[in-house]
Amino acid sequence: MKSFRDFMEERVREYYLQRKVGDDFFTAPELDRSFGRALSDHLYQFVRHADNPLILELGGGNGSLAYDILSFFREKDNKLYGKLTYYIYEESPTLVSLQKNRLREFEGKVFWTQELITEADIVLSNEFFDCLPVHVIKGRKELYVDDGRAIWEDITDERTLTFLDRMGYSALGQVIEVCLDCIDLLRRLSNIVRGYHIVIDYGYTSEEIAKYPNGTVVGYKAHRVVMDVLKEAPPFDMSAMVNFSALVEYGKDFGLLSVSFQNMREFLLSSSTFLEELEKLSLSEKAEDIERLSRLKTMLISMGERFKVLIQKKL
């Protein structure tokens, strides 16, 4: 028997050893380059006066986000680009090879690490925190898994009880996911980041938690939802929506002040690069541009509400 947290960690790790982004689900950087370019608009404002800016990306996927960010900086400000260094923190050797291939034109500019580096001006991630394993709780019980069966045991970890109490969830009768790994990572990142920490992911706030009475853990296989993650044969992707209120609350302990929290639609529409691209594509009659326009609309409409962008500043 193992905790659901350990079960999820195993599934996610084995998944990314065998599969890549696109096989079972898509992410915004894979949909269109305008996502990475909109993010770069903001990154540029954050690092334009830095001497030797260093950006750390967590979980590089197929390498598309890094590709779009580095291309943007190269086009926009070659002098700054010359001083920029980009690191990708990636656990999967399979994805590291894929990323190296995708980013071969940026050799000497981008580096890989399986350990967190010690300093960065910006730490950013897209769909990374949702991969971190969660404890699944209902009332005073925690979910364990035994050979595909769900077993509920008393909560023994004090940190889980403290989390429920601090977040005001102790009396809720519903399923709650507690991502202690997210908080541990946030603490470690707060010691690394000199400027901004940016988290882009699908998630909820404490005010929205009641919308998910059965929790938010979901599996994906071949672009379809896995009905029973405890019984499904691996590999399949597994994730839990990110609790942004917890990142804001615990960030305060670590000197990370949350300076902006928007949904993806607001975030994209606040980028002049994104707006220009949207206008250009809307006016074009080329088939390729019409297809791209529909992908931008997917980002704005179906992903636009569910995805959130949290920006924290290191004090």
87's CB contacts (< 8 A; 6+ apart) are 54, 55, 56, 57, 110, 111, 112, 113, 117, 120
Which segment (72-80, 84-92, 103-111, 213-221) binds ligand SAM by CB under 6 A? 84-92
DSSP result, 220-282: EETTEEES-TTTSPSP-EEE--EEHHHHHHHHHHTTEEEEEEEEHHHHHHT-HHHHHHHHHHH
CB neighbourhood size of 286 (10 A): 9
What lies within 8 Å, CB to CB, of 274 at 6+ separation is 34, 37, 38, 41, 268, 296
Q: Is 229 among the residues that bind ligand SAM (CB under 6 A)?
A: no
Of the candidates 90, 142, 177, 277, which one interacts with ligand SAM according to CB under 6 A?
A: 90
Does 29 bind ligand SAM (CB under 6 A)? Our answer is: yes
Which of 11, 19, 21, 40 binds ligand SAM (CB under 6 A)? It is 21
Q: Is 177 in the site for ligand SAM (CB under 6 A)?
A: no
CB of 66 to ligand SAM, least distance (A): 9
- Residue ranges in 59-78 that form contacts with ligand SAM under rule CB under 6 A: 59-61, 65
- What would the DSSP string read from start to end of 53-71? -EEEEE--TTSHHHHHHHH
3 interacts with ligand SAM by CB under 6 A: no
What is the residue whose two structure tokens read 């470690």? Answer: 188
Which residue in the set 92, 190, 216, 243 belongs to the binding site for ligand SAM (CB under 6 A)?
A: 92
Q: Which range, of 43-51, 57-65, 161-169, 209-217, touches ligand SAM by CB under 6 A?
A: 57-65
Q: How far is the CB of 116 from ligand SAM (least distance, A)?
A: 9
Query: Which part of the chain contacts ligand SAM (CB under 6 A), choosing from 38-46, 91-99, 168-176, 257-265?
Result: 91-99
Nearer CB in complex with ligand SAM: 14/77: 14
Hey, is 134 helix, strand or coil?
coil
Look at phi and psi of residue 162 and say left if phi exceeds 0, alpha if psi is from -120 to 50, else beta: alpha
Which residues of the shown chain bind ligand SAM in the complex (CB under 6 A)?
12, 16, 21, 27, 29-30, 59-61, 65, 89-92, 95, 126-128, 131
